[in-house]
């Protein structure tokens, strides 16, 4: 049995090591490979330095069956991928006549003479193969070093991506028994360690499929990974998803969207509203518009988002949302009563089916002993059912209090649409 | 003389190697280090696999004087940075009583019992030091391996970044003659290449101080870097700032805030409003709350932000902001007339001194030949002067159209408060 293919990715460029630019190529390549069942074992980034590039190539080719490099194929003195590859292959650089002809043609098509500097882009290690680049002057290179196949692609994504699809994809087919299949299950409402407790043995590293978790922006994502033939994958992964659903209940967000983009909760709420032909309005104080902004990050949100009121000051809580000023005087702006009045005002003023209202103390100022920074009241109202309000105590600074407030408002709406309950939300 | 410090960065997590998430921590860390004159020689990313993490730690610690790792410090079975560090240090994991106390305190503050799983986060290799994490349950670790200092930080940026500033920055200081002093001058309203043209010789790489530029989220930041003794630094840097101000005029945002946090424009507008004792209200369509959210990211924004209206649908433009429906019928929702009516409605409904209104086509759907995706009208109204409206044509997808819309609304308000003009804003 051949070993499963493994991929290593090497990004090359001083602008990457220095942090001036974030490398997005490596993640793109890795997710493409993952979709084909090939596991990426390492990403590495080195600067424009030939010995370092050569050392990284040798090292990565020794521990994976595929190595993809990006960058360092331009025409200037600091583009060193070609000589570094020649060095590790022990193969001299020669001028490729086809590459030179393609370069000249590129410039002829643009009615410009070819700058002499670009001639180096026609060089390739004698034992390497040239990969055509229809979108730029830098051809790619393919070679074999020991057990590993190496593909060197240019750095700009609009050149790299089509070359990857054309030349690298065919090399990424794993032996069927060893293919890796991944599913994503986003959750909201339980902390990461609670999720891990509930998942229990599913997270055992020896298990296949094995489940891992990551937390980001309030979403805890379960990642199920199965290594084996495609024929069994769907069934086993679906079994695991069903098992996770059973253990985590309504915390599991619908969709299993493969994009881990932090919008799983918004997407879930929007889908539920769209299925019901209903709309939501927002009435925001301490979040200042974040909740509306989150909902409208998704294209087509006008189906489900009516609009809202930003009632940042007490005066505007009264003026825009019709909150009785005596309620604010009696209970304070951050209170169950005011949150409920804001939500009721939102329903009435916008004509939406649901309204979410947030009033809280984001900090750093404005806290008191009874209502410390992070105290937030969130209310939900609906034209067809009883309103509810919950109090939360968030930690972690202004940005985080605001983020959690918006997320939990969506969480409350989601649970009410599902007619589910989740004990881990704030006190009601 | 000791050799200059060099930095290697190791990011840990299956979600990174698999490409499900792009690693932004490493670039952030590298640019922080670069600003202090420390060169990053390599970034590496490995999955949740103890032998691979340990191997990468050993390898990177052998070739740099500083190694920073991010991720893998969570409470679950796939968080393996702690045991990997113990392995390379040859130092057993012990429970740190202070870490355990801090964990318990974290949960007590949240009125939740500590899940048993989190107890592993109190473990540290016996020869390592614990680094306090005020924003999460994962403490960091610091240790020495051979010639290298190792810092292990948690993965979430809001936990990692403050810990970097507090614990790692002191370790990044070079010798006094080689110390790097940096000032930041944020600008808005000119493109990066226009800024570079105007800066001219100030950007010459041999100059000291030298000026560089970076663009992010609409803000073009000039970064002035002086290498040399502290005694001369302030004077030389202030001279360069005055020179830049002279060349870039009102595009330079006030403050020179050292935090390059993307809030320079909001901070500038808020300061100008606060100096005048005035307030602003927002009326947002395609941005869905982003403009209000941006203004309220700053603590104390209730001094200058009254509130706003999210008029996402045509119906709510009329109902909430009093826009005459015939205007929408006649000119379309994305038009000068509707933008001006939204701004006027914002003034009238909120009683603020200024109102900013945004109506546009964020995409991907909804465009036409006459009004392609990215067409945005922004209006500004004021109780004391004539209103104005400008049309913009933004590129780059939904998120970017929304971001530019909010930024340019703030830019229009800023220039009107300064009574300045900037030809590079949209057509009026």
- Which of chain A's residues have a Cβ under 8 Å away from the Cβ of B359? none
**Chain B residue numbers touching A17 (CB-CB < 8 A):** 30, 39-43
Report in angstroms the alpha-carbon separations of A377 from A160, A407, B99, B312: 49, 13, 32, 25
Domain of A46, in residue numbers: 6-172
Average pLDDT, whole number, for chain B? 90
For B130-151, the three-class secondary structure string (H helix, E strand, C coil) is EECCCCCCCCEEEEEECCEEEE
N residues, chain A: 428
B140-150 tens-digit pLDDT: 999 999 999 99
User: How many Å apart are CA A127 and CA A343, to the nearest integer?
Assistant: 70
Confirm whether B428 is domain-assigned.
Answer: no
Q: Are B199 and B232 in contact (CB under 8 A)?
A: no
B182-220 in b/e form (b: 16+ CB < 10 A) is bbbbbbbbbeeeebbebbeebbeeeeebbbbbbeeebbb
The single-letter DSSP state of residue B116 is G
CB contact under 8 A, B316 and A295: no
Domain presence at residue B426:
no
**φ, ψ for residue A156, nearest 5 deg:** -60, 125
More confident residue, B192 or B365: B365
Range in B111-115, B214-218, B239-243 the model is least confident about: B214-218
Which CATH number goes with the domain that contains A21? 3.40.980.10
Say if residue A1's pLDDT is above 50. no
Exposure on the CB side of residue B243, measured as CA atoms within 13 A: 17
Whether A85 is in a domain gets the answer yes
CB contact under 8 A, A299 and B363: yes
Q: Are residues B39 and B126 in the same domain?
A: yes
pLDDT at A3 over 70: no
Q: How many C-beta atoms lie closer than 10 Å to residue A101's C-beta?
A: 11
Residue A136 shares a structural domain with residue A158: yes
Instruction: Give the pLDDT score at A175.
Output: 66
pLDDT at A425: 52
Cis bond before residue B364 (omega within 30° of 0): yes
Nearest-CA distance from B331 to chain A in Å? 20
Residue A427 maps to a domain:
no
Whether A425 is covered by a domain: the verdict is no
Q: What pTM value is reported for the model?
A: 0.76
Torsion of CA B155, B157, B158, B162, to 10 degrees: 90
Within a domain: A247: yes
Q: Return the pLDDT at B423.
A: 47
What residues have CB less than 8 Å from B166, skipping those under 6 apart? none
Alpha-helical (H) ranges within A164-214 are 192-199
Return the CATH number at A309: 3.90.950.20
Q: For residues B178 and B97, is the Cβ–Cβ distance under 8 A?
A: no
Cross-chain residue pair B18–A182, CB shorter than 8 Å: yes
| Residue that is last in its domain, among A140, A172, A204 | A172
Task: Answer with the one of A251, A279, A296 that is the final residue of a domain.
Answer: A251
pLDDT of residue B34: 83
Distance between A176 CA and the closest CA of chain B, angstroms: 19
Instruction: Find residue A281's DSSP bridge partners.
Output: A307, A355
Residue A256 reports pLDDT greater than 60: no
In this structure, the answer to whether residues A270 and A391 fall within a common structural domain is yes
A131-153: pLDDT as tens digits: 999 888 889 999 999 999 999 99
Ramachandran category for residue B5: left, alpha or beta (phi over 0 → left; psi -120 to 50 → alpha): beta
A299: nearest CB among B23, B76, B398: B398
Phi, psi (deg, nearest 5) at residue B354: -130, 150
C-alpha–C-alpha distance, residues B348 and B383, integer Å: 9
Q: How many Å apart are CA A220 and CA A189, to the nearest integer?
A: 9
Average pLDDT, chain A: 91
Instruction: Determine the Cα–Cα distance for residues A71 and B398; give it in Å rounded to an integer.
Output: 28
| SS3 (DSSP) at B123 | strand
Q: Are residues A311 and A168 in the same domain?
A: no
- Same domain for B145 and B200, yes or no, is no
Residues B235, B309 within the same domain = no
Residue A139 CB neighbour total at 10 angstroms: 25
Q: Find the length of chain B.
A: 428
- Under a CB-based contact definition with an 8 Å cutoff, are residues A196 and B117 in contact? yes
Which of B17, B43, B350 is closest, CB to CB, to A41?
B17
Distance from CA of A45 to the nearest CA of B (A): 5
Nearest-by-Cβ selection for A289 from B46, B291, B351: B291
The answer to whether A295 and A406 have CB atoms below 8 angstroms apart is no
Q: Which of A47, A215, A310 sits opposite B310 (nearest CB)?
A: A310
Which residues, other chains included, contact A148 with Cβ-Cβ below 8 Å and sequence gap of 6+? Answer: A60, A61, A62, A64, A65, A66, A67
Q: Please answer yes or no on whether A24 and B22 come within 8 Å at the CB atom.
A: yes
DSSP A119-177: GGGGEEETTSEEE--TTSS--EEEEEETTEEEEEE-SSHHHHHHHIIIIIGGGGPPPGG
B80 has pLDDT over 70: yes
B18 CA to chain A: closest CA distance, Å? 5
Taking only Cα atoms into account, the Rg of chain B, rounded to an integer number of angstroms, comes to 26
Q: What is the DSSP letter of B200?
A: G
Separation between Cα atoms, residue B277 and residue B340, nearest integer Å = 24
Distance between CA atoms of residues B388 and B340, nearest Å: 7
Does residue B113 belong to any structural domain of this protein? Answer: yes
The CATH number that applies at residue B239 is 3.30.70.2860
- Give the model confidence (pLDDT) of A150-198 as tens digits: 999 999 888 899 999 999 988 887 666 677 788 889 999 988 889 999 9
Query: How far is the C-alpha of B410 from the C-alpha of B202, rounded, in Å?
Result: 29
Same domain, A79 and A219: no
> Looking at the structure, do residues A93 and A191 belong to the same domain, yes or no?
no
pLDDT of residue A47: 92
Contacts with A68 from chain B: Cβ below 8 Å: none
Number of structural domains in chain A: 3
Pairing assessment for the beta strands A129-131 and B280-284 based on DSSP bridges: unpaired
Searching chain A, which residue's CA lies closest to the CA of residue B106?
A395
Q: Could you tell me the two tokens for A191?
A: 């902390």
What are A318-327's pLDDT values in tens digits?
A: 999 999 999 9
In the sheet that holds A180-187, the strands lie side by side as A180-187, A219-227, A210-216
Tokens of A332: 């304070």
User: Does one domain contain both A228 and A346?
Assistant: no
pLDDT recorded at residue A19: 87
- Closest chain A residue to B301 measured between Cα atoms? A312
Interface with chain B: mutation pick from A17, A222, A259, A283, highest number of B CBs within 10 Å: A17
Q: Dihedral of CA B316/B318/B321/B326: which sign?
A: positive
Residue in chain B nearest A60 by alpha carbon: B44
**Alpha helices (H) along B109-253:** 157-163, 192-199, 230-248
* B1 assigned to some structural domain: no
Tokens 């009883």 belong to which residue?
Answer: A386
Q: Does A356 lie in the same domain as A217?
A: no
For residue A416, the tally of other CB atoms under 10 A from its CB is: 18
Closest by Cβ to A316, choosing from B45, B76, B307: B307
Q: Are residues B237 and B286 in the same domain?
A: no
What are the structure tokens assigned to B332, written together? 């379309």
Q: Is the pLDDT of residue B427 over 60?
A: no
Domain-ending residue, one of B120, B141, B172: B172
A62 vs chain B: nearest CA distance in angstroms? 14
Q: Are residues B216 and B236 in the same domain?
A: yes
Nearest to A293 among B78, B156, B289 (CB): B289
Report how far Cα A31 is from the mean position of its chain's Cα atoms.
Answer: 11
Instruction: Kindly state the average pLDDT of the residues B156-177.
Output: 86
Contacts of B165 (CB under 8 A, 6+ apart): none
Please indicate whether, in this complex, the C-beta atoms of A216 and B399 are within 8 angstroms of each other.
Answer: no
Q: How confident is the model at residue B8 (pLDDT cuts 50, 70, 90)?
A: very high
């Amino acid at each position: 049995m051949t070993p499963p293919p493994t991929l290593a990715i090497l990004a090359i460029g001083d602008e990457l090591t220095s942090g001036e630019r974030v490398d997005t190529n490596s993640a793109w390549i890795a997710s493409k490979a993952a979709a084909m069942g090939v596991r990426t074992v390492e990403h590495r980034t080195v600067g424009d330095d030939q010995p370092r590039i050569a050392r990284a190539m040798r090292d990565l080719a020794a521990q994976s069956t595929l190595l993809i490099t990006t960058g360092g194929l331009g025409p200037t003195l600091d583009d060193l991928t070609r000589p570094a590859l020649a060095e590790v292959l022990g193969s001299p650089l020669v001028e490729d006549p086809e590459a030179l002809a393609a370069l000249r043609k590129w410039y002829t098509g643009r009615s410009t003479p070819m700058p002499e500097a670009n001639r180096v882009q026609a060089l390739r290690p004698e034992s390497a193969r040239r990969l055509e680049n229809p979108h730029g002057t830098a051809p790619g290179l393919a070679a074999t070093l020991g057990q590993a196949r190496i593909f060197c692609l240019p750095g700009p994504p609009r050149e790299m991506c089509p070359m990857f699809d054309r030349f690298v994809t065919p090399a990424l087919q794993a032996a069927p028994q060893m293919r890796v299949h991944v599913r994503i299950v986003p959750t909201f409402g339980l902390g990461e360690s609670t999720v891990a407790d509930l998942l229990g043995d599913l997270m055992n590293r020896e298990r296949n499929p094995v489940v891992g978790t990551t937390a980001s922006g309030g979403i805890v994502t379960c990642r199920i990974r199965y290594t084996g033939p495609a024929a069994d994958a769907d069934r086993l992964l679906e079994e695991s998803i069903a098992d996770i659903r059973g253990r985590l209940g309504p915390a599991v967000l619908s969709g299993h969207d493969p994009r881990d983009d932090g919008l799983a909760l918004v997407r879930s709420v929007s889908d539920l509203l769209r299925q019901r032909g209903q709309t939501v309005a927002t009435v925001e104080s301490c979040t200042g518009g974040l909740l509306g902004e989150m909902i409208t990050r998704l294209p087509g949100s006008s189906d489900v988002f009516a609009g809202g009121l930003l009632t940042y000051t007490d005066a505007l809580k009264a003026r825009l949302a019709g909150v009785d000023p005596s309620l604010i005087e009696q209970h304070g702006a951050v209170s169950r009563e005011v949150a409920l009045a804001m939500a009721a005002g939102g329903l009435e003023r916008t004509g939406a089916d649901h309204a979410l209202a947030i009033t809280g103390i984001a900090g750093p100022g404005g806290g008191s002993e009874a209502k410390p920074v992070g105290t937030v009241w969130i209310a939900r109202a609906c034209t067809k059912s009883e309103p509810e309000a919950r109090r939360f105590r968030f930690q972690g600074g202004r940005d985080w209090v605001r983020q959690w407030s918006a997320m939990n408002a969506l969480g409350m709406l989601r649970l009410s649409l599902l007619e589910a309950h989740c004990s881990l939300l704030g006190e009601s």
